[in-house]
Amino acid sequence: MTDFHVYDTTLRDGAQQEGLNLSVPDKLAIAGYLDQLGFGFVEGGWPGANPKDTEFFRRAATELRLQHAVLAAFGSTRRAGTEAAQDPQVLALVESGAPVVTLVAKSSPRHVVEALHTTLEENLAMVRDTVSFLVAQGRRVFVDAEHFFDSYVQDPAYPVQVVQEAFAAGAEVVALCDTNGGMLPPQVFRAVTELRAVTDGILGAHCHNDTGCAVANTLAAVDAGATHVQGTVNGYGERTGNADLVTVVANLQLKQGREVVDPAALAQALHLSHAVSEVTNIPPVGRQPYVGASAFAHKAGLHASALKVHPDLYQHTDPALVGNSMRTLVSDMAGRASIELKATELGYDLTHDRELAARTVKRVKDLEQDGWTFDAADASFELLLREEVTGEPLQYFATESWRIITDSGDGREALSEATVKLRAAGRRVVATGEGNGPVNALDHALREALADAYPELAGFELTDFRVRILDASHGTDATTRVLIETSDESSSWQTVGVAPNIVHASWTALVDSFSYGLLKRGVQPRP
Ligand SMILES: CC(=O)SCCNC(=O)CCNC(=O)[C@H](O)C(C)(C)COP(=O)(O)OP(=O)(O)OC[C@H]1O[C@@H](n2cnc3c(N)ncnc32)[C@H](O)[C@@H]1OP(=O)(O)O
Ligand SMILES: CC(=O)C(=O)O
């Protein structure tokens, strides 16, 4: 574990992602999560480039209690024609107090000449001077050789010279960058293999994902002898992002048997990657390898029938190793085995009742044919399953009728008013509710009608409402599917309703939502 570096740049390169903006408290919080992931190095930003990054390093010195990670400050080699000791940007790196300084250095002749407007010799001197100055200041210096691979495939001579210059000046690591993200694994493997043959220093890989190969390129570099990997949590980063470091680490550890982080930390990967998503306010991607919600979710009936025998028949690894878990999805692609597995997840044992499982499959398939969808509405599926198991629907109240009026005029916003008539707890109740739309009004009226019988409903909140027109060619005559997400203080659940009338579909999803929430709280029906 000690001689392999896992270097995270979520707070620097990750923050270069479009739409991602981290405050100093956000950065401090994420640094804590990266540390818990067991990463060896956390690059905190570019001190001196903006006040936020400067403040991050100032506060990190007293507020961060890192257990594993060493903090790195990022910056560039000195400006052309200046002295490292006089360059404010280089001095800010020293002032940051970070024990590691990572310098971006040009390694492509074209960039040196066209972007830096200087000579190849001066660029080598910039690398040499800046590295040796920072080493003399007591810093561990890592160098990011920018555009290394693009340059190498054109002509290896200059980029190799930059790498050698950096090591000669005292750099501890040189990370080879696929800055434009255009490489493929064989190119990376070849370049690192050839470079490995002419230098003893620690080589690393920093790969962008523009060909969709950032993780594969990183692994190719490791196969060729790199022992330092850079990346970001959730693959955040400039353009299409960086190598997803959780995927890289999981592959190294679980597929190649290299213990690069503590296995207990890897077992927190899902939780910590989602915790980072909470801070970045970027929803997690369901299809993300290892830690995505769908990474171990199985929809096909044939898969489920084999999974029943052994989970590894359709899974490449044990989800628990990354903190994930297997899920079965129920849909019109389900078979009896899918229903059995799902029922087990939900606490029902159907293993000895093939007929019940078959009946449930048929009901699901028939309903999905009519537009229902159960893999996105687990709660509605559980109510359906419960009905099949007990032989009767779960009924907390008996609906007599509901009605909506929407009115507007004189430039007023439209306002909806709903009236609900039902029987609950042995009483007939008539209640009204207002809302800015028909579903909102219906929700209010239903809560009002049930408030005495089921005060627990006050803790439920509608958190998402999605409508899909299922047969658009029918225009306003089409079938409508409504998916509702409801939350309480500890969980959330999804329900579905389908009907030609949007309000009717919403009512069905709403009734399921309330019924499921009450069921989960152990509330007995009092119709
Ligand atoms: C591949 C990467 O992602 S590297 C990280 C890139 N990240 C960022 O750029 C985010 C932070 N950057 C910034 O805040 C600003 O660009 C700063 C503070 C660094 C510089 O701002 P400015 O001084 O206004 O310069 P500007 O951004 O216009 O241009 C960059 C300058 O750095 C020089 N430069 C670029 N790379 C290097 C390098 N490796 N070594 C030395 N100088 C470099 C450029 O030649 C240019 O110099 P010039 O001002 O003499 O033309
Ligand atoms: C250094 C860096 O972020 C890159 O070359 O992509």
Query: What is the amino acid identity at position 13?
Result: D
Q: How confident is the model at residue 409 (pLDDT cuts 50, 70, 90)?
A: confident
Q: What integer is the mean pLDDT of 416-437?
A: 96
User: Which pLDDT belongs to residue 364?
Assistant: 95
pLDDT in tens, 185-231: 999 999 999 999 999 999 999 999 999 999 999 999 999 999 999 99
> Residue 387 above 60 pLDDT?
yes
User: Which pLDDT belongs to residue 472?
Assistant: 62
Instruction: Give the per-residue SS3 of 132-160.
Output: HHHHHCCCEEEEEEECHHHHHHHCCHHHH
User: Which pLDDT belongs to residue 116?
Assistant: 97
For the chain, give the mean pLDDT: 95
Q: What integer is the mean pLDDT of 393-416?
A: 92
Q: Is the CB of 145 under 6 A from ligand 2?
A: no
- Helix or strand run (H / E) with residue 438: helix 438-450
410 vs 460, higher pLDDT: 460
Quickly count: other Cβ atoms within 10 Å of residue 141's Cβ. 24
Residue 359 to residue 364: CA distance in whole angstroms: 9
Q: First vs last Cα of the chain: how many Å apart?
A: 62
Cα 426-452-484 angle, rounded to 5 deg? 100
User: Which pLDDT belongs to residue 277?
Assistant: 95
User: Which pLDDT belongs to residue 474?
Assistant: 64
Q: How far is the CA of 137 from the centre of ligand 2 (A)?
A: 24
For residue 132, give every residue at least 6 positions away whose Cβ sits within 8 Å of its Cβ, in sequence order, or none: 84, 169, 170
- Cβ(57)–Cβ(73) under 8 Å? yes
Q: How far is the CA of 447 from the centre of ligand 2 (A)?
A: 55
Residue 337 to residue 304: CA distance in whole angstroms: 6
Spatial CA neighbour of 248 closest among 284, 283, 217: 217
Q: Is the CB of 13 under 6 A from ligand 2?
A: yes
Q: Is the CB of 150 under 6 A from ligand 2?
A: no
pLDDT in tens, 6-20: 999 999 999 999 999
Instruction: Give the per-residue SS3 of 71-104.
Output: EEEEEECCCCCCCHHHCHHHHHHHHCCCCEEEEE
- Cβ(74)–Cβ(12) under 8 Å? yes
Query: Helix, strand or coil for residue 412?
Result: coil
Residue 322 to residue 319: CA distance in whole angstroms: 6
Q: How far is the CA of 75 from the centre of ligand 1 (A)?
A: 9
Taking each continuous run of H as one helix and of E as one strand, the counts in the chain are 18, 16
% of the chain exceeding 90 in pLDDT: 94
User: Which pLDDT belongs to residue 448?
Assistant: 97
Q: How confident is the model at residue 470 (pLDDT cuts 50, 70, 90)?
A: confident
Spatial CA neighbour of 381 closest among 516, 236, 238, 280: 516
Ligand 1 atom showing the smallest separation from residue 179 Cα: 1
User: Which pLDDT belongs to residue 16?
Assistant: 97
In this prediction the pTM is 0.88
pLDDT in tens, 76-129: 999 999 999 999 999 999 999 999 999 999 999 999 999 999 999 999 999 999
From 43, 46, 162, give the residue whose CB has the most ligand 1 atoms within 8 Å, as the site to mutate. Answer: 46
Rounded to the nearest 5°, which phi and psi values hold at 223?
-60, -30
> Residue 2 above 70 pLDDT?
no
| Domains of the chain, each with CATH number or no CATH | 5-280 (3.20.20.70), 297-369 (no CATH), 398-520 (3.30.160.270)
Q: Is the CB of 52 under 6 A from ligand 1?
A: no
Query: Helix, strand or coil for residue 248?
Result: helix
pLDDT in tens, 158-182: 999 999 999 999 999 999 999 999 9
User: Which pLDDT belongs to residue 412?
Assistant: 84
Rounded to the nearest 5°, which phi and psi values hold at 501?
-100, 125
Residue nearest to atom 6 of ligand 2 (CA): 179
Structure tokens at 277: 């998503």
Ranking 25-34, 146-155, 189-198, 348-357 by mean pLDDT, the lowest is 348-357
Spatial CA neighbour of 98 closest among 54, 68, 129: 54
Q: How far is the CA of 181 from the centre of ligand 2 (A)?
A: 10
Q: How confident is the model at residue 328 (pLDDT cuts 50, 70, 90)?
A: very high
User: Which pLDDT belongs to residue 527?
Assistant: 80
Residue 145 to residue 138: CA distance in whole angstroms: 21
Q: How far is the CA of 440 from the centre of ligand 1 (A)?
A: 52
> Residue 1 above 60 pLDDT?
no
Closest ligand to C-alpha of residue 214 is: 2
CB environment 21-48: b (16+ within 10 A), e (fewer)? ebebebbbebbbbbbbbbbbbbbbbbbb
pLDDT in tens, 230-283: 999 999 999 999 999 999 999 999 999 999 999 999 999 999 999 999 999 999
Q: Is the CB of 54 under 6 A from ligand 1?
A: no
From 9, 179, 207, 217, give the residue whose CB has the most ligand 2 atoms within 8 Å, as the site to mutate. Answer: 179
pLDDT in tens, 471-525: 766 666 678 999 999 999 999 999 999 999 999 999 999 999 999 999 999 999 9
